Amino acid sequence: MSITNTQYIVTGAAGFIGSAVVWGLNRRGIDDILIVDHLGESEKWKNLRALRYADYMEKDDFLRELAANGLPSKAKVVIHLGACSSTTQLDASYLVHNNFEYTKLLATLCTARGARFIYASSAATYGAGEQGYSDALDGIPELRPLNMYGYSKQMFDLWAIRNGLVNAIAGMKFTNVFGPNERHKGPMRSMVCRAFEQIRDTGTVKLFKSCRPEYADGEQKRDFVYVKDIVEMILFLLDRPDLCGIYNAGSGLAETWNDLVSAVFDAMGKPRRIEYIDMPEILKGKYQYYTCADMTKLRSAGFTGGRTPLAEAVADYVRGYLLPDKYLGDEPSN
């Protein structure tokens, strides 16, 4: 099986953010896309049903063809979102192979050919935030991720900097992304999706108690960002091949878990009922109590969108997709 000779390649394209990017490209009239993923036994194939693309390829077949023959001649853009995103994955060797080595191969091939390469880093690289949340390149070596997933992303960021590729590619440090097409992610679904299910089934949402006295229960803060805003950021970088480096991709605001789930209750028209439960031992010491992306670099580059207010984004997700059981692409075209 050979790689289809398309202009666009999106890896992880059946996944959450990947399928959203294909949706965004489709809305521009672009369907000359090779989508790459590993479908396995999950239901993420449902994310593909309403999307338009030229061909599908399993990740292992894609990697074998890349190693043997390189990129297809027509390829001008690779948006690399394929990765294991589980923050509780303990197999470090698997994460190195899947998240680090895979990205190195694609970045090397793209830069050698002059193809645009945009890849997913992660805000998990910031760890507990001791060094802040600036995406300035000189601060990246000082970051200390709290889990191996975050470190696998940090490994590539550092490799790209050391080898000079960071000046020819664009990386994006995603924060807490939520939105349609994430239901296949199991325990890694956003709290919006899980809260919706809990409210639907029990009328109550469970949140972790705080283990730090400076944070009340449910008042831990994260930078929550709607997946449609993330797509807008990625397409902005796609339109600006002159913009290289590593960029934060978030809302630029820190909001609480209580704020988030309250927005879900409101979107569903249900009374707010929150129960606080003990944090699992596996998360203690690896849990981020505060994240807030510094969006200065991307906005200084000219990006003006991508900040849908939390309540508005949650309402769009809940009412437009979760309640009617729809996926991106099922909605009427604008």
207: left (phi > 0), else alpha (psi -120 to 50), else beta? beta
The pair of structure tokens assigned to 280 is 């699992």
Give the Cα separation of 220 and 283 in Å (integer). Answer: 14
Judge contact between 116 and 168, C-beta under 8 A.
no
Q: Which of 185, 209, 270, 326 is catalytic?
A: 185
Give the three-class secondary structure for 287: coil
The helix/strand/coil state of 272 is coil
The DSSP bridge partners found for residue 269 are none
Q: Which of 126, 149, 247, 287 is catalytic?
A: 149
Asked whether the beta carbons of 8 and 77 are under 8 A apart, the reply is yes
The burial class, CB within 10 Å (0-12 / 13-18 / 19+), for 159 is: middle
* CA–CA gap between residue 235 and residue 212 (Å, rounded): 39
If phi over 0 gives left and psi between -120 and 50 gives alpha, with beta otherwise, what is residue 81? Answer: alpha
How far apart are alpha carbons 138 and 232 in whole angstroms? Answer: 26
The answer to whether the beta carbons of residues 279 and 213 sit under 8 Å apart is no
Contact 57, 1 (CB under 8 A): yes
Q: In this structure, are residues 122 and 83 in contact, taking their beta carbons and an 8 Å threshold? A: no
Give the list of residues 6+ apart from residue 97 with CB closer than 8 angstroms, or none.
none
Give yes or no: 149 in active site: yes
Within 13 Å, how many C-alpha atoms sit on residue 167's CB side?
Answer: 3
CA distance 314 to 308: 9
Q: Name the residues annotated as catalytic.
A: 149, 185
